Amino acid sequence: MSQKAEIDQARKWIVEAKAITVLTGAGISADSGVPTFRGDGGLWRKYRAEDLATPEAFADNPKLVWEWYDWRRRQLAGKRPNPGHIALTEMERRSSGFTLITQNVDGLHDLAGSRLPLKLHGDIWNLRCTDCSARSVNRETPLKRLPPLCDCGALLRPDIVWFGESLPQDVLEEAWSRACAADLFLVVGTSALVQPAASLPLLARERGARLVEINQQKTPLTAHADIALFGTAGDLLPALVTL
């Protein structure tokens, strides 16, 4: 099938679907100028994300970890949702059963107008107290105080799932159930290497959902997809929702 025919087929499935579940990864934000995990621009000083986004690094040097998050927050502050994010809000508006699950922490789905995306890995704009667990939204860039402190006096941390930590159980359970309930599962811009997110599309597929993938490259999911569209999310998602 030509790509045009595949887009037409996927668009038809989207219109017919009773329950659409979408999983997005860093690739959907690439068109907004946000570096992907394995792409360029992910390095800060001499550190890799794997060295800083861990409970051990935070226990060892919270100020250093916060300086890195402050740098990432400043990078994100000027970024806007792209046509890919916007197309998903339009898909949500038109569908009766729609769930958006994201691995991204950048908040761009919220800015685009998505309703309550399930954030598997947290949100860089949310802070959480390491002692009393109080949560707060904080969009200040740069942060006035590094590391930031809670009203109770304890250290605040980014409300993000770090390497070696478990995903929030309630969010994961909801994502799992929305994957099982889907008759169309759309996976966009994820390398599908990070578990358990990567198993959601396969779970949906096993339960009978059609699987459509959008990515610039092949991933471990491509062989399982009913349709794999190669290109950017910013081009392909709008093509899937136009009439």
Q: Is 144 helix (H, G, I), strand (E, B) or coil?
A: coil
For ligand NAD, the closer CB: 150 or 167: 167
Q: How is residue 45 annotated by DSSP? A: T
Residue 121 catalytic?
A: yes
> Across 41-155, where does the E strand assignment appear?
98-102, 118-119, 122-129, 135-137
Residue pair 182/174 in contact (Cβ under 8 Å)? The answer is no
CB neighbour list of residue 83: distance below 8 Å, 6 or more residues apart: 31, 234, 235, 237, 238
Q: Please choose which of Zn ion, ligand NAD, none residue 129 contacts, taking the beta carbon within 5 to 8 angstroms, the exact cut-off set by kind.
A: Zn ion
Active-site pick, 85, 109, 121, 224 = 121
Nearest CA to 26 out of 106, 119, 126, 118 is that of 106
Determine the Cα angle at 54 with ends 48 and 56, to 5°.
115
To Zn ion, the closest distance from the beta carbon of 134 in angstroms equals: 5
In the list 15, 137, 149, 152, the residue contacting Zn ion (rule: CB under 5 A) is 152
Scanning residues 152 to 191, which ones bind ligand NAD (CB under 6 A)? 189-191
Scanning residues 112 to 151, which ones bind Zn ion (CB under 5 A)? 129, 131-132, 134, 150
Q: Please choose which of ligand NAD, Zn ion, none residue 27 contacts, taking the beta carbon within 5 to 8 angstroms, the exact cut-off set by kind.
A: ligand NAD
Residue ranges binding ligand NAD (CB under 6 A) = 25-27, 29-31, 34, 36-38, 103-106, 121, 189-191, 193-194, 214-217, 219, 232-233
